[in-house]
Structure 1
Amino acid sequence: MAEVAGYRLTDSTRLADITAIRDRFAERATALVETTLLRRKAVAKLGDLGEVSQWLFTDDALQQATAEPVARHRAARLAGAVVHDATCSIGTELAALRSTAAALVGSDIDEVRLAMARHNVPDVALCRADALHPVSRAAVVLLDPARRSGGRRRFDPRDYVPPLDALFDVYRGCPTVVKCAPGIDFEAVAEMGFEGEIEVTSAGGSVREACLWSPALATPGVRRRACVLDRGEVITDADPDDCPTRPTGRWIVDPDGAIVRAGLVRHYAARHGLWQLDPEIAYLSGDHVPAGVRGFEVLDELPLREKILRQALSQRDCGQLEILVRGVGVDPDALRRRLRPAGRASLSLVITRIGAGAGERSAVFLCRASAANT
């Protein structure tokens, strides 16, 4: 491994590098190269969870592994608890939990991943077990059912491995934390009998997951939570949501995806003194931009007519064009190609639907984007 790690394995060198590695290590070359490349990816995703540059992985396991800031956040919520990670895989969650949990054990049914976990987190007690047949008592059970197979996503939670509905049945009444895909159907989860708190988390500008906290672990009075880890912001459905609908102000704000996915746009707007342009659309407006958030300063409002848009962009010497769309059937990439911006300025188009029924219209706001302010 140390020798193969010395090869660059870039697009320009990969063929020659792999040939040399095969000459040196024969049938072990494939595993050595794959592990080396996965370790390099892991450093960016898993950060300081441990000596991840020396860990062992499979490609599917690394894809499903929780990103370091999300794992740290969950471990902080579970601080002081006795935790059993019943789908521990290669040990990512265990690496975060070992510094916060009062006691910790991991298990998995996959012998290969369990062997990798023994290498990756040798200081954690591990055993082989099926998550559908509980082997612990008086512990918070952490569950991360597989949502990928051969690199392809499983969208129906009943197709997870183990299936989500089966996990709910097995652990009914027990304190559980279940990691799910961020796009999971919340209504389908409720139909399966889940009555706890759904937490949607984002990090690095992307929505990372939806996490299901059973009633025993949920915050009283909270059914939905959005956590924006990049700026330490938490919004819940217990917060005020008195958000008016008004015409656009100086700024347009596109809320973080975790806030939108959790259905907490109005709560976020109420906290920051913003308002909606339309009660069914997630774009917000206001006379200021919340701290740490990127905003779009409105320069003009235009109709959704390409000739007029092209003229407006030309007049402002636009060359780099960002297009955001909600509620209107517009392909941003195709529209950008047709508008052919060729100047030097960087501008944004925010395209949205306003109104409903006979009063419905498409509005285009020509904007100048700000950096995330502090």
Structure 2
Amino acid sequence: MLAPRGAARLAELEQHLRDGASLDDARRNLRDQGVPAEETAALLTQAELRAKARAKFGEAAAHLLFTPAGLEQATRSVVAEAHAQRFAAAGCRVVGDLGCGIGAESLALQAAGIDARPVEINPFTAAVAERNLGVPVWAGDAERFPLDELDGVFLDPARRTAGHRDTRRITRPGDYSPGLDFAFGLAERLPTGVKLGPGFDRGLIPDDAEAQWVSVDGQLVETGLWFGRLARPGVRRSALVLRPREEETGTHELNAAADAPDVDVRDLGDYLYEPDGAVIRARLIGELADRIGAGMLGEGIAYLTADTPHRTPFAAGFRILERLPAGEKPLRRALAARGIGRLEIKKRGVPIDPAELRRRLRLSGPNGGTLILTRARGRHVALLAERLSG
């Protein structure tokens, strides 16, 4: 597929699938053309990867090549665009993409008018990135890449084992590639951005970094660390909430100079708010609570409660309909009496498996709702609620 013949066959295969052919039909068609089995498998895999990649890359996925591991680890285009805008705002013009994978970050840098210098240690992945980017990719160890011409660097350290499929997550930051010591050392020399997993140990965040947690459509996707002039003055904690399907900007951000202290615990009000994962990880729940006039539902519980409804992109809102019995048997009877057959189950601070509880509740009926299981002032509560629109 890196050669013209393979690219042409892939285009023909995808058109066949768009015309309504099944994968089995497409496989038979390729076999009838005399395409070898190994090449057929590669073509079908690539077509499936492109279809899956639309969730991250939109229509641009139709013009890119992927590996299974490369797609899994690639930055979503909307997040990569936010990264590139930060480099552009900082005046960076030549940026090293150290650990570029299939090229997602470099694509966004190019679109922002920045000269991206991609680096990838895996030769095959480097070839895929070169095809996607249309520029040479330096195939080698990022720690040996010359930095002389760069005025900024971005690192996405590999957090999975080597390979193109069936990779395993690396849990120890010391085993990342490039290593964190190298990444943080670069930050002392050049404006540097480092993409890390959303659960990255906060104790390892350098004091001079701006730490930004990013969520996309409610899914927490990364921790970004920014150094030098890429870090904004007075900002050390940030929650970036991206909702690309919103009609307006779809970009919302909470910033603070440090972790925000939690607000006081208060009695349950008529409304409950579940902060976005980026807000929780950034420890900006107190900042959000001040904005919407809410209090903590319980000590150490990431739910807020208020007496009035508020529209906010930083939390999902619920109107409390009633308080139900917390015990499983009386809860089952209460739900049955209300004809609840469709139930969203949310929980915090209670040792319950929602899927297993749903099975045991034996739900039946025409009505729906949200069941929130948590602790309020230290006591277990079961709340029947409905989501606030918008």
TM-score by length of 2: 0.85
Match of 2:233 among 210, 220, 228: 220
| Worse overlay, 124-133 or 27-36 | 124-133
Cα deviation, 1:258-307, whole Å, max 9, x if unaligned, reads: 11122211111112222211231111111113245542111122342012
Q: Secondary structure at the match of 1:5?
A: helix
CA contact (8 A) 1:197 1:215 kept: no
Is 2:304 aligned against 1:304? no
Is 2:253 aligned against 1:234? yes
- 1:50-61 correspondence runs (5 A): 51-61=60-70
Cα deviation, 1:101-138, whole Å, max 9, x if unaligned, reads: 4433222222222222221121x454334211241234
**Other-structure match for 2:7:** none
The one-letter amino acid paired with 2:104 is T
The one-letter amino acid paired with 2:123 is E
Matches of 1:283 and 1:242, distance apart in 2: 11
**Other-structure match for 1:32:** 43
Specify whether residues 157 and 19 from structure 1 end up closer, same or farther in structure 2 by C-alpha distance, changes over 3 A only: farther
Matches of 2:234 and 2:312, distance apart in 1: 27
Specify whether residues 175 and 247 from structure 1 end up closer, same or farther in structure 2 by C-alpha distance, changes over 3 A only: same
The one-letter amino acid paired with 1:339 is L
- 1:307-318 correspondence runs (5 A): 307-318=329-340
**Other-structure match for 2:200:** 184
Cα deviation, 1:123-165, whole Å, max 9, x if unaligned, reads: x454334211241234211001112233322222222222323
Q: Percent identity?
A: 37
TM-score by length of 1: 0.89
CA contact (8 A) 1:66 1:92 kept: yes
CA contact (8 A) 2:23 2:44 kept: no
Cα deviation, 1:74-102, whole Å, max 9, x if unaligned, reads: 11111141221122222111111113244
CA contact (8 A) 1:241 1:270 kept: no
Q: Secondary structure at the match of 1:323?
A: strand
Number of paired residues? 361
Specify whether residues 145 and 194 from structure 1 end up closer, same or farther in structure 2 by C-alpha distance, changes over 3 A only: farther
CA contact (8 A) 2:174 2:180 kept: yes
Deviation >4 Å, runs of 4+: 239-242
State the Cα distance separating 1:67 from its structure 2 match: 0.6
**Other-structure match for 1:210:** 223
Is 2:107 aligned against 1:95? yes
CA contact (8 A) 2:268 2:376 kept: no
Match of 1:264 among 281, 284, 290: 284
Match of 2:371 among 349, 354, 357: 349
CA contact (8 A) 1:242 1:270 kept: no
CA contact (8 A) 1:254 1:295 kept: yes
Cα deviation, 1:230-275, whole Å, max 9, x if unaligned, reads: 1422112338757332111111111111111222111111122222
State the Cα distance separating 1:313 from its structure 2 match: 1.2
**Structure 1 regions of 5+ residues with no counterpart?**
none
Aligned-residue RMSD, C-alpha = 2.4
The one-letter amino acid paired with 1:364 is A
CA contact (8 A) 1:155 1:184 kept: no
Match of 1:42 among 53, 57, 66: 53
| Worse overlay, 333-342 or 300-309 | 300-309
Q: Secondary structure at the match of 1:207?
A: strand
CA contact (8 A) 1:253 1:289 kept: no
State the Cα distance separating 1:17 from its structure 2 match: 3.5
Matches of 1:262 and 1:273, distance apart in 2: 19
Matches of 1:324 and 1:283, distance apart in 2: 11
CA contact (8 A) 1:84 1:106 kept: yes
CA contact (8 A) 2:86 2:230 kept: no
CA contact (8 A) 2:192 2:226 kept: yes
**Structure 2 regions of 5+ residues with no counterpart?**
1-9, 244-249
Match of 1:245 among 262, 265, 268: 265
